[in-house]
């Protein structure tokens, strides 16, 4: 028997970690609900075809697939063999696998909307807090099982949804006391640039190259553009695009100049302006940064896109989202536009832990430990303990009659602030000894006063 272990990229969470994570979940859930979003849960596994082809070529490779049961059935040997050959050739085969673990929450949500659009009231606002799985190689801030907290609105074209979702981001991070900046761009602007640069078909090459700017620098980006067939004039245009800097307003003006009369460019800028100016009136625009290099991987985005970055932290994005025109048409139900955002709880946790941002109050533990001084005494103490529990004070009794030393140490390790001693003396006098472990002070109190004692 080898040592027990858990799969790569997964984790166990101890008491204090769970409590801190709960703090993040509760904060985000509270904000979601305050903004009118209602909960949804979907299964951990989806049909393979629901997920495949939705996340790009790279994404498909990172989907965890579940092996079918009954592969050893001799009657199905031929079809399974055939399916296996397809898998070896890099294709998918339902004879081998027909289910997969969900990769994100947006696609399952789109599937849900497509399945239930008849019953839903639009605009439909839902939030979802559940784990997702990716067969990525684990590293800092990257896990194979992690939680996402998504909020989406479908069935509305209004930019007010974008405005509202940005407010959700800002308010949630404000409550978590985590300083962030929210980068905003518009896929329409990128599309406009691609058109000005010689064609929509270049959009993907262009965004991939642009996205790498802060990592590899302009020279390398230029090289890549060159390899992808962009001519000198086009490269110069991209360079001017990437060199745009200044305040949000300055950047937008420079961009408008650059893209000129391009329809998509104009529309993209208009939308961006709308959202930014709206938040000038709410006073939340200080967190917003127009960033034309922001591209985002998921190719279903069509409008404004967002990405959240923790300030002064070495961590990838801790949240992202954007508008998608027609996600449900992938499932046969066209014309349901939507916009959504996502929080990456595990990365938020890592950053907050690193910066020591968790309030000490998130550590809930037992408030009172009742000492166990023998069968008869423990029975009396148990009765007293139950009255405290009825008042919602967290209590426990040490289960063994052990030496004081041991019971004290238990309380100390667990961070229990108070102990109650009920021994033979106390039972005779119908009182208990209460000791505060931090101050070391102790008092005697009649049983009848225990209920009103301010633990």
Partner RNA sequence: GAGGGCGUAGCUCAGUAGGUUAGAGCGACAGUUUGUGGCACUGUAGGCCGUGGGUUCGAGACCCAUCGUUCUCCCCA
Cβ closer to RNA: 237 or 318? 318
Residue (of 394, 389, 377) closest to 432 by Cα position: 377
What is the C-alpha to C-alpha distance for residues 287 and 28, in angstroms, rounded to an integer?
18
Q: Shortest Cβ distance from residue 412 to RNA (Å)?
A: 5
Site string for RNA, 194-233 (x = CB under 7 A): --------------x--xx--xx-----------------
User: Phi and psi (nearest 5°) for 101?
Assistant: -75, 145
What is the number of other CB atoms lying within 10 angstroms of the CB of residue 329? 13
Q: Which stretch binds RNA (CB under 7 A): 19-27, 266-274, 332-340, 425-433?
A: 425-433
Q: Shortest Cβ distance from residue 321 to RNA (Å)?
A: 8
Tokens representing 374 are: 């023998």
CA-based Rg of the chain, rounded to a whole angstrom? 29
Can you tell me which of 20, 28, 59, 109 binds RNA, judged by CB under 7 A?
Answer: 59
Q: Which stretch binds RNA (CB under 7 A): 43-51, 252-260, 271-279, 291-299?
A: 291-299
Residue (of 351, 365, 444, 378) closest to 412 by Cα position: 365
Can you tell me which of 97, 128, 148, 185 binds RNA, judged by CB under 7 A?
Answer: 148
Q: Which stretch binds RNA (CB under 7 A): 41-49, 170-178, 255-263, 420-428?
A: 420-428
Residue (of 42, 20, 156) closest to 103 by Cα position: 42
User: Is-contact 79 95, C-beta < 8 A?
Assistant: yes
Q: Shortest Cβ distance from residue 343 to RNA (Å)?
A: 8
What is the C-alpha to C-alpha distance for residues 379 and 26, in angstroms, rounded to an integer?
38
What is the C-alpha to C-alpha distance for residues 59 and 171, in angstroms, rounded to an integer?
31
What is the C-alpha to C-alpha distance for residues 114 and 332, in angstroms, rounded to an integer?
7
Tokens representing 309 are: 């970055």
Q: Which stretch binds RNA (CB under 7 A): 41-49, 79-87, 266-274, 402-410?
A: 402-410
What is the C-alpha to C-alpha distance for residues 136 and 104, in angstroms, rounded to an integer?
13
Can you tell me which of 424, 430, 446, 449 binds RNA, judged by CB under 7 A?
Answer: 424
Q: Which stretch binds RNA (CB under 7 A): 40-48, 82-90, 186-194, 315-323?
A: 315-323
Q: Specify the 3-state DSSP secondary structure of 23.
A: helix
What is the number of other CB atoms lying within 10 angstroms of the CB of residue 126? 21
Find the largest Cα–Cα distance for the chain.
96
Q: Does residue 392 bind RNA (CB under 7 A)?
A: no
Q: Which stretch binds RNA (CB under 7 A): 19-27, 74-82, 179-187, 421-429?
A: 421-429
Cβ closer to RNA: 78 or 216? 216
What is the C-alpha to C-alpha distance for residues 434 and 369, in angstroms, rounded to an integer?
10
Q: Which stretch binds RNA (CB under 7 A): 35-43, 54-62, 88-96, 384-392?
A: 54-62
Q: Shortest Cβ distance from residue 287 to RNA (Å)?
A: 16
β-pair type (442-446, 124-133): unpaired
User: Is-contact 289 160, C-beta < 8 A?
Assistant: no
User: Is-contact 289 181, C-beta < 8 A?
Assistant: yes
Site string for RNA, 154-193 (x = CB under 7 A): ----------------------------------------
Number of residues that bind RNA (CB under 7 A): 62
Cβ closer to RNA: 105 or 252? 105
Any idea what the Cα angle at residue 304 is, between residues 277 and 37, rounded to 5°?
A: 85
Cβ closer to RNA: 79 or 442? 442
Q: Does residue 318 bind RNA (CB under 7 A)?
A: yes
Q: Does residue 87 bind RNA (CB under 7 A)?
A: no
Q: Does residue 438 bind RNA (CB under 7 A)?
A: yes
Q: Does residue 435 bind RNA (CB under 7 A)?
A: yes
Which residue, chain included where needed, has tokens 């970055």? 309
CA distances from residue 198 to 227, 256, 274 in whole angstroms, order as listed: 15, 18, 28
Can you tell me which of 93, 161, 317, 372 binds RNA, judged by CB under 7 A?
Answer: 317
> Residues 334 to 363: which contact RNA by CB under 7 A?
342, 344, 346-347
Site string for RNA, 108-147 (x = CB under 7 A): --------------------------x-xxxxxxxxx-x-
What is the C-alpha to C-alpha distance for residues 129 and 356, in angstroms, rounded to an integer?
24
Q: Shortest Cβ distance from residue 274 to RNA (Å)?
A: 24
Cβ closer to RNA: 58 or 72? 58
What is the number of other CB atoms lying within 10 angstroms of the CB of residue 288? 21
Any idea what the Cα angle at residue 328 is, between residues 96 and 101, rounded to 5°?
A: 35
Residues that bind RNA (CB under 7 A): 5-9, 56, 58-59, 62, 104, 134, 136-144, 146, 148, 208, 211-212, 215-216, 296-298, 308, 314, 316-320, 342, 344, 346-347, 373, 403-406, 408-409, 411-413, 421, 423-426, 433, 435, 437-438, 440, 442
């Amino acid at each position: 028997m080898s040592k027990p272990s858990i799969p790569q990229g997964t984790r166990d969470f101890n008491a204090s970690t769970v409590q801190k994570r709960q703090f993040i979940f509760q904060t985000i859930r509270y904000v979601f609900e305050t903004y009118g979003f209602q909960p949804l849960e979907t299964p951990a596994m989806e049909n393979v075809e629901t997920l495949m082809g939705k996340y790009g070529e790279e994404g498909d490779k990172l989907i965890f697939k579940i092996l079918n049961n009954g592969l050893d059935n001799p009657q199905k040997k031929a079809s399974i063999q055939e399916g296996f050959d397809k898998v070896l050739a890099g294709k998918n085969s339902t004879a081998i696998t027909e289910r997969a673990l969900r990769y994100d929450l947006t696609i399952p949500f789109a599937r849900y909307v497509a399945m239930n659009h008849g019953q839903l009231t639009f605009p439909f606002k839902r939030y979802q807090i559940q784990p997702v799985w990716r067969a990525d190689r684990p590293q800092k801030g990257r896990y194979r099982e992690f939680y996402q907290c998504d909020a989406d609105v479908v069935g509305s074209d209004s930019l007010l949804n974008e405005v509202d979702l940005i407010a959700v981001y800002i308010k949630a991070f404000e409550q978590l006391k985590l300083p962030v900046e929210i980068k905003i761009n518009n896929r329409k602007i990128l599309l406009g640039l691609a058109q000005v640069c010689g064609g929509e078909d270049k959009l993907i090459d262009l965004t991939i190259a642009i996205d790498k700017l802060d990592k590899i620098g302009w020279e390398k980006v230029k090289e890549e553009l060159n390899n992808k067939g962009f001519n000198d004039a086009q490269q110069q245009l991209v360079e001017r695009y990437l060199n745009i800097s200044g305040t949000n307003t300055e950047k937008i003006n420079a961009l408008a100049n650059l893209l000129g009369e391009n329809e998509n460019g104009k529309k993209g800028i208009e939308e961006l302006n709308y959202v930014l100016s709206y938040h000038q009136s709410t006073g939340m625009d200080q967190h917003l940064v127009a960033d034309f290099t922001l591209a985002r991987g998921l190719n279903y985005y069509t409008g404004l896109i967002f990405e959240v970055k923790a300030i002064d932290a070495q961590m990838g994005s801790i949240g992202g989202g954007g508008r998608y025109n027609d996600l449900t048409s992938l499932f046969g139900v066209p014309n349901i536009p939507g916009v959504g955002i996502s929080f990456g709880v595990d990365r938020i946790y890592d950053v907050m832990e690193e910066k020591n941002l968790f309030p000490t109050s998130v550590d809930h533990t037992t408030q009172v430990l009742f000492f166990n001084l023998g069968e008869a005494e423990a029975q009396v103490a148990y009765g007293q303990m139950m009255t405290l529990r009825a008042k919602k004070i967290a209590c426990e009794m040490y289960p063994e009659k052990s030496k004081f030393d041991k019971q004290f140490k238990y309380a100390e390790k667990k961070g229990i602030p108070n102990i109650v001693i009920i021994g033979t003396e106390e039972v005779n006098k119908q009182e208990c000894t209460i000791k505060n472990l931090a101050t070391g002070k102790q008092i005697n109190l009649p049983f009848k006063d225990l209920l009103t004692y301010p633990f």
